[in-house]
Each structure stands twice: as C-alpha cells, then as structure tokens.
Structure 1
C-alpha cells in the first residue's frame, strides 16, 4: 500500500513512518521541515521525504497521486478558537477533500484523548465528547467531519486518540516526547533534589512503538469508520515513575505531592476495542522502566 504520511518528522509521526515502512508499505513521509530528520530518507520503504505544510495546499495533489491511504499525524496550532479551527480542523478537512479527489480509499486521523474533555470513571470510544479547551474541541470537530466523509462513502475513515505517548527517538537526530516531566523527574533524582508532583496524577502511558503498531493494524481494518484509543491497559502514577528513576539511580529523594483534589481512583480509558479488533493490548511497566533508564542517561 502506498501511504502519504503527514507529521513524519515529529515524535509520533517518525515512529509511525518507520513502523509502516517495516510493515512492507511504501511511505511518502512529509513534514514541515524534513531536513530536521535526514535519517528518515534512508529507511527502506520510505520512498520520499517531502515538505508539507497544512496551510499550503498547492503540493497536496502531487503528493497524494497514486496513494492508497492518508495517515494524518500533523497538528495545526493556533492561538484562540478561530485560529485553532483554521489551522487544524479546516486544514484537515481540506486535506481530506484532496485525498478523496486523489482516489485515496483509507484515511487514518490522529485525534487526542483531549477530544473527550470532561471524563467519566470509565470512558469508551463512543461516549459523548465534552471538550474543555480549543485543542480538544478542534480534534472532536475533525472527528465529526471524518465520520461524515465515511458516511458518504468517500473513503474508510479511522480515528486514533493517543493519550500520553512516550519513548526514545525513532531515528538518530529525532525527538523524544515533547512533554518534559520524565526529564524533570530524572534530573531531580540525579541531583538529589525533591521530586515535585501532583497527588494521584498519572495516566495510561503508551510507548510510541506500540501506538505505531495500532496505525499499522488500522491499514488492514475493513470498517467504514472506527475510533480507537492509543493507550496502555495499565494506569501508572507519576509517583511510580519517580520511584523507577530512584531505582535506576540507586538513590532515594523525597517526593513532594501537591494536592489539587484529584481522586484516588483514576478516570480510565477503555482500550478493549483495540484488543477485540486487532489483538493489541499493551502493558507499560517494562517500557517505562527502560525509558526512565534512557532519560537518566540524557540528564
């Protein structure tokens, strides 16, 4: 399958690019600044590395020509509601239109658990979204448009909702996750300083290589429309991560917890659909320990 991949030079996108290429697909990898990740072009199966800006549409028909699938990972960002709508939702819809015109038969869109917004105790993919910020709102809006494309038989459409994705760079010169909390925790432990965290804060951390496997599976998913969370089955607290860092460093430091009223029972995302559809179910303890050890080597 020939695939146009957006956001291929970013953290998640670079892992997806490598995994799809390793899976035997031809990947046209695109990003805002492809020169930032020169190693991408040398990965077998990546047939081109091209510049693609969501706000610049003139090159889209050429890049989409001959592609069977569009995997859309790139994010458009804006300050305020209208700017976010234009940069991400409107740009994504224009890209979907271009994909449809090019004869693409499958689109995979990268949303976010932020589309959920307010959470229940257990959240499956079909609950009503109640976004609480413009980022979540634009993701939820684009999901709705994508569902409409699928209902009109424009193409098969699949939504991935990543949660907290962590990991090492996919390639030399690439990025780890942009969030800095792993680095802050490990740096504090390395220098014998207290680790400052929020009481009962944590999530269903998922490694970037694992979520890349979900994208690979979705390329073979024969459904008109689907939504899948990209999360581990295991909930882990940030305090657990701090203890992992102490184990790696061989030293103990205090953990100072700020109480913001988080309950002891976490809100969870139901990942059974990923297991039922693809047999994918990801633990995270070993991946987290390995990542903490890697981060310790960086700080």
Structure 2
C-alpha cells in the first residue's frame, strides 16, 4: 500500500515506518524536525528510513495547511498513520499555543487531507492522558474522559471527537489509539525511561515526583508498532450494536473506533527504578519532589477491546524491554554522542 505517515522522524513513527517498509509498503514520511528536543536524534532516525528505496521524506509542519495539502496530493496515499504532535503533558502547561497549533489545527489539516484524497483509513495517536481525573483502574475505553488534567490531554480528546465528526460527515474510517507510556530504543530524551537512565549513568539525582508514588503502564515500543499496523489493516467500521439512546463513546454508527494500546501490567515507579538499577548495574540517587501540574497518579490499560478486534498482541516483559533500551542507549546513543 501507499502510506502517508506523519511524525516519521519521531520515536514511534520510526518504528512503525520500518515495519511498513519491511513488509513492502511505500511510505511517505512527514515531519517538521522541530527542536523540542535535539534534532540530531530525529535525523538519525530519519537516516535509518532513508536507507529504504520505498521511503520518501517531506519536511512539512502540520499547521501549514497548504503545504500539508500539497504533500497529501503528491503522496496520493491509500491510508494514513498520523503520529505527529506536540507531545508532552508538562510542555503543554508552559507552551499551550504549541500544543494547540500542532494538535488541533494540525489535526484538522490532516483530516482535510484525508477527505480530499478519500483515504481508506486513518489511524491516529491519542493518549492514555485523556482519562485524566478518572481514578478507576484499569482504564476501559467506555469510561468517562471529560476531566483532562492538562491541555495536552484535552487536545488528544478533542482529536477523537474531531475524527468522529469526519467519520460521520464524510464516512472516513478513523481509528484512535490511546498509547500508554511507550519506551524503548530510539526513545525521546524527555521520556522518563530516558531521563532516569541518563541520570543514573551520570551520577545525577533522579527527580521522583509525588515522592515516587506513581504507577505507570510502561509499554515497549514493538508492542505498540505491531497493533498500529494491524489496526491500519482493519479499517474502522460502523458498530451494528451502536444504540444512540445509550451511546458507546468509542464506537458509532459511523466508521469510528478508539482502542487502548498498553502493556496491561502497571508498575510502581520505585519498582521501575529498582529494575533499571539492576539493568545498568548502578544505584540511583533519588530526589523526592511534589506532584507536578498535569500529572496523574496512576495509569493502566484494559486492552480486551483491542484483542477482540485484532487478536492477541505482543507483551514484552519490563526487564527484557529495559535491557534492550539500555543496550541501545549505551552503544548507539552514547556512542554517537562520543563520536
């Protein structure tokens, strides 16, 4: 197939693109290569993709509607994977306009591109952060998501609602994917696993917010990329059981679906630190900090709905994933930095 993938130079985007290319798809990658974190890491990811003859890259910002529209017309995609966004719960607190521009206006531009090209299916990244103040664990898609704790979470929930509107109005099949704390090789420097590893290896203190009393459903990146491809291959369809008198919030009489994609095994933050210490062979210096604005205390994914739709999904054990991440960090990442 011909696939347009936004956020191709990003963490999850690179892994998804490599899988698409490995199975023989043509991929047009879109990314603005901004400096939210070191662009050198994005360029290194991009270099891996450029090695494939079926990959083509265009540097385009989502907010530039005209440029994105032209990229859609050049790509003539059959299906679209939209992973680009201004990420970061905490970043959205200090830079709200960046989140709104990329995640709201940018998403409208993606939807318009899909409408103009009559794409067969749009799979887009949502986030577990949409569950917000909801404290009922594990999170199930049918739960309420109307109390976001950050602007980032609000933009991701807005994306789901915007996608439904386009599915209803223009019958574009759309599937939203609520990611849960993804980690692994080629990850972002602002992510917890990356920051903790860097601090331990450099002998710097780890900032543990809410005194470390946090729980996260850490999900290895391969366990995210696999279901993204399988969802892409199974376009959303109207739910024949949908009842407008008692509407299911994540299905519809339009071709619209939303799924949790997470490991399903929440881990206490202090347990993660202990496992990371064992992996790296070093002890962490811990600095206990208060809870930050926008953070939630715990996350955990119920993925039964996803499994019912596409079948069983891979689940990499935490210590296996940590070993793979550490090996990449110590060789490829630190090696490139030293060079």
Same fold (TM over 0.5): yes
Matched, 1:99 2:111: no
SS of residue in 2 equivalent to 1:96: helix
In structure 2, do the counterparts of structure 1 residues 258 and 49 end up closer, same or farther at CA, with 3 Å as the change threshold? closer
The equivalences for 1:33-182 within 5 A come to 33=33, 36=43, 37-46=46-55, 48-65=56-73, 66-76=76-86, 84-122=99-137, 123-129=139-145, 130-169=147-186, 176-182=187-193
Residue 299 of structure 2 is aligned to residue 284 of structure 1:
no
Which residue pairs with 1:220 in the alignment?
233
Structure 1 residues 70 and 267: CA distance shift in structure 2, 3 A:
closer
Unaligned ranges ≥5, structure 2: 34-38, 237-254, 292-296, 335-339
Superposed displacement of residue 23, structure 1: 2.8
TM-score, normalised to structure 1, is 0.84
Secondary structure, counterpart of 1:110 in structure 2: strand
Q: What do the CA deviations read for 1:86-130 (whole angstroms, capped 9, x no partner)?
A: 432122112212211112121111111122211222221122212
Residue aligned with 1:126, SS: coil
Higher-helix-fraction structure: 2
Work out the CA distance in 2 between the residues paired with 1:142 and 1:192: 40
> d(CA) in 1 for partners of 2:214 and 2:54?
40
Measure, in 1, the Cα distance between the counterparts of 2:99 and 2:197.
34
Alignment partner, residue 25 of structure 1: 25
Tell me how far apart the structure 1 counterparts of residues 282 and 84 of structure 2 sit (CA, whole Å): 40
- Structure 1 residue aligned with 2:214, among 184, 197, 201? 201
Q: Contact 2:6–2:13 (CA<8 Å) still a contact in 1?
A: yes
Q: Give per-residue Cα distances to partners, 1:181-218, cap 9 Å, x unaligned.
A: 33443345446666553333231111222211121011
Q: Measure the CA separation in 2 of the matches of 1:179 and 1:155.
A: 34
- Tell me the CA shift for residue 289 of structure 1: 3.2
User: Does structure 1 conserve the Cα–Cα contact (< 8 Å) formed by 2:32 and 2:60?
Assistant: yes
What corresponds to 1:172 in structure 2?
Answer: none
Change (3 A) 1:221 1:186: same
Q: For 1:40, what is the secondary structure of its paired residue?
A: helix
Residue 244 (str. 1) matches residue 275 (str. 2): yes
> Scaled by the length of structure 2, what TM-score is found?
0.75
Shift of 1:134: 1.2
Mean alpha-carbon deviation: is it higher for 213-222 or for 250-259?
A: 250-259
SS at 1:58's partner residue? Answer: helix
Contact 1:147 1:225 in 2 (8 A): yes
Q: 1:98 to 1:200 in 2, by over 3 A?
A: same
Measured against aligned partners, the alpha-carbon deviations of 1:106-162 in whole angstroms (never above 9, x if no partner) come to 111111112221122222112221212211111111210101211234311000111
- Contact kept, 8 Å, 2:68 with 2:109, in 1: the verdict is no
Gaps of 5+ in 1: 170-175
Offset from partner CA, 1:155-187 (integer Å, 9 cap, x none): 110001112111112xxxxxx223253344334
CA contact (8 A) 1:22 1:44 kept: no
How far apart, in 2, do the equivalents of 1:214 and 1:243 lie? 29
Q: Name the SS for the 1:50 alignment partner.
A: strand
SS in 1 for 2:132: coil
